[in-house]
Amino acid sequence: MTMPFSRLGAKKRAEGLAADRLPPGQYIPRGWPVLHYGPVPKFDESSWDFRVFGATDGGERRWDWAGFGELPRTEIRADFHCVTKFSLLDNTWTGVATGVLLELAPPASGVTSVMVWAEYGYSANMALADFGGDLSMLVTHRDGALLTPEHGFPLRLVVPHLYAWKGPKWVRGVEYLTADRRGFWEQRGYHNLADPWREQRYSYQESPGDGPVG
């Protein structure tokens, strides 16, 4: 991960914020940085689907683009914290609350965690409770504007209370897990839990029980 922007002015942009508004170590960048591994995928509406699979209660569910567009939509206002230390405050996100999916495609009773899957095999794991958190949402718009391709068009997850790598861009599905498993960055040295307020950045900071072994 690189940081293709300047820290100049970051301090000025943080002036006037309540002291506890930014998680430890975070700063406010200019604009909205783009950060991801690999290329930006092309959206093909005719083959796009969103799948909920794994340990479901009652079977898998799959939506095509038109069907997904019929799901009830809501709006939230939330901050966004990247592990590379930039934070975007007061974003308005529009999309489908993860709670809607959990209702329409309920997990089996033994499900503890989920793996969220995106194009090219990117994945992020999190506790079921984090995925279903009040602010967790599959979003199509930020501040009223459609996501651009580099920010995740047509759909990305945001989980505002965790570091942003837990929110895959170009998201395509959710796998329900009965045992936690590490996702893409979690296998590459990032913390399994990723709470920005506890600065859970790297896997070497994990306590026993924070993550699956291996």
Chain positions contacting Mo ion, by CB under 5 A: 82-83, 164-165
Nearest distance from C-beta of residue 4 to ligand MTE, angstroms: 11
Residue 29's binding partner out of Mo ion, ligand MTE, none, with CB under 5 to 8 Å set by partner kind: none
34 is an interface residue for ligand MTE by CB under 6 A: yes
Contact between 152 and 84 (Cβ < 8 Å): no
Cα gap 72→69, rounded to integer Å: 8
169 is an interface residue for ligand MTE by CB under 6 A: yes
Residue 118's binding partner out of Mo ion, ligand MTE, none, with CB under 5 to 8 Å set by partner kind: ligand MTE
> Considering only residues 27, 36, 149, 181, which one is a binding residue for ligand MTE as defined by CB under 6 A?
36
> Considering only residues 50, 63, 117, 122, which one is a binding residue for ligand MTE as defined by CB under 6 A?
122
Residue 63's binding partner out of ligand MTE, Mo ion, none, with CB under 5 to 8 Å set by partner kind: none
Residue with tokens 């209370």: 161
Closer residue to Mo ion, CB minimum distance, 52 or 137: 137
Contact between 42 and 31 (Cβ < 8 Å): no
Residue ranges of E strands in 29-120:
49-54, 61-64, 74-81, 87-97, 113-118
DSSP state string for 151-189: GTTT-EEE-TTS-GGGS-SSEEEEEEESS----TTGGGT
Number of residues that bind ligand MTE (CB under 6 A): 18
Long-range contacts of 44-51 (CB under 8 A, 24+ apart): 48/154, 48/172, 49/172, 49/173, 50/138, 50/155, 50/171, 50/172, 50/173, 51/172, 51/173, 51/174
Closer residue to ligand MTE, CB minimum distance, 52 or 124: 124
> Considering only residues 164, 174, 177, 193, which one is a binding residue for ligand MTE as defined by CB under 6 A?
164
Give first-to-last CA distance, the chain, whole Å. 23
93 is an interface residue for ligand MTE by CB under 6 A: no
From residue 171 to residue 210, the character string flagging contacts with ligand MTE as x (rule: CB under 6 A) and all else as - is ----------------------------------------
Nearest to 116 by CA among 174, 186, 155, 68: 174
Closer residue to ligand MTE, CB minimum distance, 93 or 122: 122
List interacting residues with ligand MTE (CB under 6 A): 1, 32-37, 82, 118, 122, 151-152, 164-165, 167-170
